[in-house]
Amino acid sequence: MRNSKITWAVVTGVVVAALAGVGVAVAVNRSSSNNDAAPSTRVTESAPSPSASPSPAPSPGADITGPLDLLLAGVDTRINVPDWEPHADAIMLLHVEPGLKSAYLYSLPRDLRVQVPAFKKSGFPGGKHKITEAMAYGSRVPGKSTKNIANGYELLTKTISNYIGIKTIQAGAILNFGGLDQLVDELGGIDITVDRKVKSRHRQPNGKLRKLVGHDYIGPQAVYLPGKRHLVGWQAIDYARQRYGLPNGDYDRQLHQRTLVKAILDKALSQQLSDPAKLAAVITALGKSLVTLGGRQPAEYAYALRDLTPANITSVQLEGGGVGSGSGYLGEQLNSEARGFLKAVATGKIAAYLKAHPKLVSKG
């Protein structure tokens, strides 16, 4: 499976929602706390009855009750490569339970072999492919070399919805490379538990890029040792990128990405984001990572998810294996236990399924 520096960028979508949610919640709390109670007025028989104050309009997003399925797709657009087609190099889903106070975060392998439906907008006839390629096939514009990423995202969501068996994906974020390391630095770094020794394929201990010779890198490597670690921006991103040398390759990398998500959320929610300037600086640090966000307005989902905390997000690890090998490698397929979890997502029976299959719950 091809490595990509884009893979980790998917987590930014979760961060955007969390930060916006904090901002909305702060605004709501400020509004209610700053309204001092008016002194009572004695009303005589001759005094006219005061008109009733109109009820405040419900906050946008107050009608969203769940369940929700949100997609975070890390896309390698490679804008410096002529005619490059965008691929979904990381696919992370957040299923939020009814009531919107608990959720499950899980990943699908980028090389998962699935049925990609026909897509009239791009002229794609449909067929069995790696799920990462759905974005590319959907983004094609017949007769032109330009790409339509929004259409690619649409085909990707259709493909994922069909595979899992859910009716729709309510919202999602498409993210390209850049911004997340600045975000982590803006937060003052993050605290993360490294589960195993990880050697960087890309960075030196000082953060500089290793030298690429042929198809491999040479020179000193940054190393992340097991235990609780404080990572600055480039370290956090580098750690979440690695898959070479890990026992389960991309499956371990998916776990590290979800661990990174929760670490960023923990740090973001611990910040004094009631300061508008601080909140603006954190969001600005994302740069141009966020390409598009579907569904209703982001602020609506932020308000709806204001009570969803990292402690109530359960990380789920789905395992699988390769279909074919060597030159005959066709992609990945999930094992029966992982496919059972997806069925539980579609039928609203996740808690019961994880109780019967506790090993699916990861520490990340």
pLDDT value at position 294? 61
pLDDT value at position 4? 36
pLDDT value at position 125? 97
Q: What is the pTM of this model?
A: 0.76
pLDDT value at position 141? 94
Token pair belonging to 115: 């049925």
Nearest to 186 by CA among 72, 267, 289, 306: 267
Cis link prior to 67 (omega < 30° from 0)? yes
pLDDT value at position 362? 87
143: left (phi over 0), alpha (psi -120 to 50) or beta: left
Helix (H) or strand (E) holding 171: strand 171-175
Could you state, in chain order, the average pLDDT of each consecutive group of 10 residues for the chain (364 residues)?
A: 36 48 42 41 44 71 90 68 76 92 93 97 96 94 89 94 93 68 86 94 94 92 96 91 87 85 78 62 59 65 81 91 89 96 98 97 77
Beta pairing partners, 76: 87
Phi, psi (5° rounding) for residue 290? -85, 110
pLDDT value at position 318? 95
Number of alpha helices (DSSP H) and beta strands (DSSP E) in the chain: 10, 16
* Amino acid at residue number 262: K
Helix (H) or strand (E) holding 154: helix 149-164
Token pair belonging to 345: 């997502």
Token pair belonging to 160: 């994922």
Contact between 142 and 123 under an 8 Å Cβ cutoff? The reply is yes
Residue 61's alpha-carbon distances to 72, 95, 328, in angstroms, are: 20, 17, 48
pLDDT value at position 273? 57
Token pair belonging to 53: 């104050």
